[in-house]
Structure 1
Amino acid sequence: MTAIKEATKKSMLDNVMQQFNKTADTIMLNPNIRNILSITNNEIILHFPVKMDTGEVKIFTGYRVQHNNALGPYKGGLRYHPTVDVEDAKALAMWMTWKTSLAGLPYGGAKGGIQIDPREYSIGELERITRRFTYALGENIGPEHDIPAPDVNTNEQTMAWMADTFMSTKSSSERSKNQHVVTGKPVGSGGLEGRNRSTGYGVYLTIKLLYRSRGEQLAGKKFIVQGFGNVGYWTSHFLTNDGAILLAVQDAHATIINENGIAVEDLFEHSKPRKGSIQGFDGAVEMEPAAFFGLQCDILIPAALGNQITAENAYQVKAEVVAEGANGPIDTEGEAILLQNGITIIPDIMCNSGGVIGSYFEWLQNRNGELWQLDEVMFKINKKLTEVFKKVETVVKENQTDWRTAAYILAIKRIETAYIQRGIFP
């Protein structure tokens, strides 16, 4: 039995549209702007050949969906996963538009990726696949047009290959001006100190701010994490450093638990040589995957794929707070059950926005030819996210509504204001 189920693409798009329409009705969104935001600007599907290590040529399919750029260049991750398709990318691109708007960044939203399981390919093959995909994208990406970043199964190495390939298509005098075509690069290749931990830090910080608003501390709080990749690890790292206890972890290979707490760094070291798998960790015991969401804990952090909490299992959740480390991990039916049961949901467009905020600072750093130190970067991310949290909290209290609705109201109103001020080009 697979611990993490595959997301249902149709329902992911249904989810984001239901969330959007609910907010549009609530704020009486201008109907013309509603029409614009309900569809994507561009949907790019690419088929490209790559030579494998054996000499065989395989054809791969890649996607890039650009939802909206009213506030600035398209921004969003690229994921390598067998479930990637255009419907998936459309939903994720819309979420990115709301996320960048809520964070107050000068960006729109995009998403994409390649339909592959990267574990089936060598490093050399992944490099060739990435470079060929970048070349095929051509001018559909660019530092002032569309700026990709890492996502599921992609990392700083992927971004380094993309940046190098894109810059190689430019003249020698133009190459240095295109380094910020992607973010999430290695520090030695123009990356930002702390970018790798920024998403997980944001998840941790929003949880901390929520408890602080209730007059509570994180120390002693028990949490469970689905997904122990970059986001799951760094979130757990910061939470345990603040005194919280990691009770259980689930990934695609195993579900493990230790009632006395799982040692985060030991689990991370165990997973590194196993391509991120937590299976076989001797600091915990395996448990039935289906029972994971029903564990008694304070905080549940779904940090893997979309549509993991649904009407089928939402009633099992015993946590008082669900923090969305992943994009769209709860479908609308599941959310209704959680809210009815008095569970607070920290929505993805705020909870995991530390990553895109970090990406913005990397983009600025490259654009301005600057170098920022780690403590300066983390201070900037902390300040920005704290401001966003307080704005959303104010709307929650003023409207007596849930956190997602409040976040959507702020995000969509900002885009509406931009369209009203600028008008629609005839």
Structure 2
Amino acid sequence: MTDDPFENMLAQMDRAEEYADVDHGIFERLKHPERTLKVTLPVELESGEVEVFEGYRCQFDSARGPFKGGVRFHPSVTQREVEALAGWMTWKTALVDLPYGGAKGGVICEPKELTDRDLERLTRRYTEGIRRMIGPEVDVPAPDMNTNPQTMAWMMDTYSMYEGYSVPQVVTGKPLEIGGTPGRVEATGRGVSLVTERLFEYLDRDLSDATIAIQGFGNVGSNAARLLDEAGANVVATSDVSGAAYDPDGLDVAALGAHVDAGGLVEEYVAGDLKGSADRSRWDDPDAITNAELLTLDVDVLIPAAVEGVITADNVDDLRASAIVEAANGPTTVAADEALTERDVQVVPDILANAGGVIVSYLEWVQNAQEFSWPLETVNAELERRIGDAFDKTIEQYDTKDLPDLRTAAYTLALERTAKAHEYRGLFP
């Protein structure tokens, strides 16, 4: 199976086509992004050197509404990856029934090697490069890997300077002080936690007895770990780029979270070198394991929350988790998917499991358009309602149509909704 994420997405679509009520001509249209822009970004760094970066913005499908999707800063960014992520965002927004199409952006860079001033200049230059493509009714970016509310603030300010007035709704995931919404930062992790709870209810199992391994302890993984820990689950392993920590009795998620928030790494936590306000009272000498070993732990739930393509034909036979909840985008290749389906391992697909972020981004966008704000309780309740409804409809599709797996069920819903929008709108000219 190819490592190309775009080919992986197309293969997932093809698996669902035979079950989806979609005209083949429209289905073929859905395989192609509407447009992809490549931008060249010369930036004068704080060191005085000028470095030329490359960036992309892909707008995949606008049949259901304005484009929506994050912007990532990472050395591995490619045009094909950005196009795949834009496609996945299209199916995600359709599945959770938001009035959006899908988009994605990325800049090839190593953020760890750039100062805050460098990142600001790079962000502003990238925003200028894509600003003719974006806008509150056209394309609304959001944070993704290695970007955050500060990044969105710079993007909003740059766009607003060209417009001549403040346009907060041009991006979501902003700081609260300039139009952000409470609950946005933890929204994706909260959605992962909610979907995991719903999965256990569907399987008639008790989450309080569950062991969970989470690959990745960034924004999504750490918030999912915290919320699942609070729900009574036993988070026994997690990881970052430095390595993984494993304790069969359960990790001290609160202490690890405080350590990472203070700039610490998982390998330091394993060694007992806790930073910031991390409380050592529950720290219990976890074992150091690799990211690869984490994937093969004998746990009830594996949550890949890092990058795409980590569960493949090469390692799927070694996986022992009873269920997988995809917090990352595209973590499972189609070949691995087929093997997991044969073994009756339930996989909650990324387009459902990690949809919490775009749901709350939508709520932020609506609030900005109305020049009104909602309290955290309202935002969280609406997130739970929308992602719960999408989970229920996916399960209904899976059960009533006797589909092979939950991913196929989710894709049939998303493809049918997007195709129906194309049918109503027709083909111009």
Q: Normalising TM by the smaller chain, what interval? A: over 0.9
Other structure's SS at 1:140 match: coil
What's 2:81 paired with?
A: 88
What's 1:192 paired with?
A: 181
- Is the Cα–Cα contact under 8 Å of residues 310 and 331 in structure 2 kept in the other structure? yes
What's 1:31 paired with?
A: 24
In 2, Cα distance between the equivalents of 1:377 and 1:371?
10
**1:405-416 alignment runs, 5 A limit:** 405-416=408-419
- Is the Cα–Cα contact under 8 Å of residues 11 and 331 in structure 1 kept in the other structure? no
**1:13-32 alignment runs, 5 A limit:** 13-27=6-20, 29-32=22-25
What's 1:5 paired with?
A: none
Structure 1 residue runs of 5 or longer lacking an equivalent are 1-7
What's 2:296 paired with?
A: 294
1:69 aligns with 2:58: no
In 1, Cα distance between the equivalents of 2:229 and 2:367?
31
In 2, Cα distance between the equivalents of 1:217 and 1:74?
39
What's 1:157 paired with?
A: 150
- In the alignment, which of 306, 317, 320 is matched to residue 319 of structure 2? 317
In 2, Cα distance between the equivalents of 1:147 and 1:285?
43
- Is the Cα–Cα contact under 8 Å of residues 3 and 309 in structure 2 kept in the other structure? no
- Is the Cα–Cα contact under 8 Å of residues 10 and 87 in structure 1 kept in the other structure? no
What's 1:110 paired with?
A: 103
Other structure's SS at 2:75 match: coil
Other structure's SS at 1:139 match: coil
Other structure's SS at 1:49 match: strand
What's 1:4 paired with?
A: none
- Is the Cα–Cα contact under 8 Å of residues 9 and 87 in structure 1 kept in the other structure? no
In 2, Cα distance between the equivalents of 1:215 and 1:313?
28
What's 1:327 paired with?
A: 329
What's 1:183 paired with?
A: 172
In 2, Cα distance between the equivalents of 1:150 and 1:364?
17
**Range that drifts further, 18-27 or 375-384:** 18-27
**1:224-239 alignment runs, 5 A limit:** 224-239=213-228
Other structure's SS at 1:76 match: strand
Q: 2:101 corresponds to which letter in structure 1?
A: G
What's 1:148 paired with?
A: 141
In 1, Cα distance between the equivalents of 2:426 and 2:337?
36
- Is the Cα–Cα contact under 8 Å of residues 55 and 126 in structure 2 kept in the other structure? yes
**1:245-260 alignment runs, 5 A limit:** 245-260=234-249
Structure 2 residue runs of 5 or longer lacking an equivalent are 273-282
- Is the Cα–Cα contact under 8 Å of residues 4 and 81 in structure 2 kept in the other structure? no
Relative to 1, partners in 2 of residues 1:298 and 1:262: Cα closer, same or farther, differing over 3 Å? Answer: same
What's 2:358 paired with?
A: 356
- In the alignment, which of 198, 205, 210 is matched to residue 194 of structure 2? 205
Cα root mean square deviation, aligned: 1.3
In 1, Cα distance between the equivalents of 2:361 and 2:21?
32
- Is the Cα–Cα contact under 8 Å of residues 215 and 291 in structure 2 kept in the other structure? no
What's 2:279 paired with?
A: none
Q: 1:247 corresponds to which letter in structure 2?
A: V
In 1, Cα distance between the equivalents of 2:214 and 2:51?
36
Q: 1:369 corresponds to which letter in structure 2?
A: E
Can you list the C-alpha shifts for 1:121-178, whole angstroms capped at 9, x where unaligned?
011111111011101112111111011111111111111111111111112xxx24x2
Can you list the C-alpha shifts for 1:272-298, whole angstroms capped at 9, x where unaligned?
233x63221024221244322111110
Give TM-score scaled by structure 1 length.
0.95
Other structure's SS at 2:250 match: coil
In 2, Cα distance between the equivalents of 1:419 and 1:308?
34
In 2, Cα distance between the equivalents of 1:259 and 1:9?
35
- Is the Cα–Cα contact under 8 Å of residues 9 and 88 in structure 1 kept in the other structure? no
Other structure's SS at 2:4 match: helix
**Range that drifts further, 212-221 or 339-348:** 212-221
Can you list the C-alpha shifts for 1:43-86, whole angstroms capped at 9, x where unaligned?
10000111111111111101101110000011011111101010
Q: 1:211 corresponds to which letter in structure 2?
A: F
Provide the aligned length of Structure 1 versus Structure 2.
414
Q: 1:264 corresponds to which letter in structure 2?
A: V
In 1, Cα distance between the equivalents of 2:319 and 2:84?
25
In 1, Cα distance between the equivalents of 2:105 and 2:6?
14
